[in-house]
Chains A and B, each alone.
Chain A
Amino acid sequence: MSRISEHPILQFEEKPVITFTFEGRKLEGRQGDTIASALHANGVKVLSHSRHHNRPRGFFCAIGKCSSCLMTVNGKANVRTCVEPLVEGMDVRRQPATGGELKW
């Protein structure tokens, strides 16, 4: 885990653990995390892949604008994981660039 433990201005007290799965693997985040911040803290840098060249995409804007962090969460595609709060038991997965086939 790569979290800030000491800081001259901010205080980051130990917060309760939230367990979730990433690609079926059990990981731990903290209360107050978004899905992407929890993944980042666990060293997961590749969140998705680009449509045409399949290049890795990571955490970029952190405010739900850039589409780099779109993932499938609890079966729902295209969730902006950088602004979606982490919830106990979430099933988080990488997805094809478009989020899979469109269902109407």
Chain B
Amino acid sequence: MVTTQLLVVGGGPGGLAAANAAASLGIEVLLVDEGLQLGGQLVKQTHKFFGSREHHAGVRGIDIPDLLMQHQGKITVLSNTAVIGCYEDKVLTAVTGEDKYFKIRPEAVVFATGASEKFLAFPGNDLPGVYGAGAVQTLMNQYGVLPGKSVLMVGAGNIGIIVSYQLLQAGIPVRAVVEAAPNIGAYLVHASKIARAGVPILTRHTIVEASGTNAVESAVIARLDDDWQVIPGSEREIEVDVVCLAVGLSPVLDLLRQVGCKTKYVPELGGEVPLRDSQLKTSIDWIFVAGDAAGVEEASAAMVEGRLAGAAAAAQLGADKGEAANVCAQCQASLDALRRGPVGAKIRAGIAKLEGDAANA
């Protein structure tokens, strides 16, 4: 049995920030991550971040994990290790690699388990050549392997548009980006970049079918009417060997559900999300959440949430209350700033639905 004061599950932007914040407040931290390399999705994000300097604006995602690991305290890192169980008596089970099983007993946990990609129903969606956008990023930006020869991107949110740009950077043509909604969801500065490169972004369009013998050889796209139904006769077949799905994310809550944290369906935050108070404590006293697991947003918010959850957990574990409260207050102000304006409207609406003390829910 491994013991620690604070266990952080997930080494992406949220988890790294949580570990860093708690360690800086003098708490002993065990950071467990299933990847071979820390950073979560940051390790494949080659674009520069937005926002202000405190949110790492202008820094490429791939360079952020190193910044987040520059802390003063004690963090033990276990990579290639997945937490696979979480029980009411504060015991968690984990596995390193494929077969080294062990138990962890922490005093508190921050779950920063991120999100998983949503899927889309259409004939042929199971063919090799249909990828999640995360997988396309991983192949290209981590392993330097080209996913294919030409691409249909499904979804014009930030991920769809940014990954389209990354595909162009890797030298692969993107034949089109289809988006079922009437508007482009991504920041327009990114959308303009790919539009300038000649990639058509087709709003009110969807993929109808992917076909091929052993892998994708072509895809059919079509226009949608105001009721999101395919307009007959508008179908077009395009020759692509990659269909990249970027149709949203849902929080990864398996462990939170297992231990009995209360959740609520909030579509603005990606689906089922854990109830949590303003300091990211769930309905269970020793469990905190941060990042996409707490509601799908983006990496800048995840880092601030991580710091907030890390400091709140540290305060509960006996760190200097005044110091921890300062960090929490800074983080809350920072989150408010990130969520201001029309871009944050959806997130604010989602969080309003979660309001109220999780403990009273």
Interface residues of chain A, those whose CB is within 8 Å of chain B, are: 2-4, 6-10, 12, 30, 32-34, 37, 40-41, 45-47, 50, 55-65, 76, 79-80, 82-85
Contacts and interface: CB of A to CB of B under 8 A. Distances in A.
B98 A79 contact: yes
A60 B134 CA distance: 9
Nearest to A1: B145
Nearest to B141: A10
Contacts of A65: 116
B139 A40 contact: yes
B215 A58 contact: yes
A82 B36 CA distance: 11
A3 B117 contact: no
Nearest to B166: A9
7 contacts: A9-B169, A45-B128, A46-B214, A55-B126, A61-B135, A62-B135, A62-B138
Nearest to B147: A40
B132 interface: yes
A12 B144 contact: yes
4 shortest interchain CB distances as A-B pairs: A58-B128, A62-B135, A12-B144, A37-B143
A14 to B, nearest CB: 10
B48 to A, nearest CB: 10
Nearest to A9: B46
B215 A59 contact: no
A26 B46 CA distance: 33
A64 B146 contact: no
B234 to A, nearest CB: 28
Given A62-B134, A62-B138, A6 B171 contact: yes
Given A56-B215, A64-B34, A4 B171 contact: yes
A59 B128 CA distance: 6
Given A56-B127, A61-B132, 5 more contacts: A2-B146, A4-B144, A56-B214, A62-B139, A83-B35
Interface string B238-259: 0000000000000000000000
A34 B128 contact: no
Given A58-B129, A79-B98, A63 B138 contact: yes
B145 A37 contact: yes
B288 interface: no
A31 to B, nearest CB: 11
B345 to A, nearest CB: 30
Contacts of B129: 45, 58
Given A6-B171, A9-B46, A12-B144, A62 B215 contact: no
A32 B143 contact: yes
B60 A9 contact: yes
A61 to B, nearest CB: 5
B127 to A, nearest CB: 7
B69 interface: no
Interface string B318-339: 0000000000000000000000
Nearest to B46: A9
A11 to B, nearest CB: 9
B111 interface: no
Interface in B253-282: none
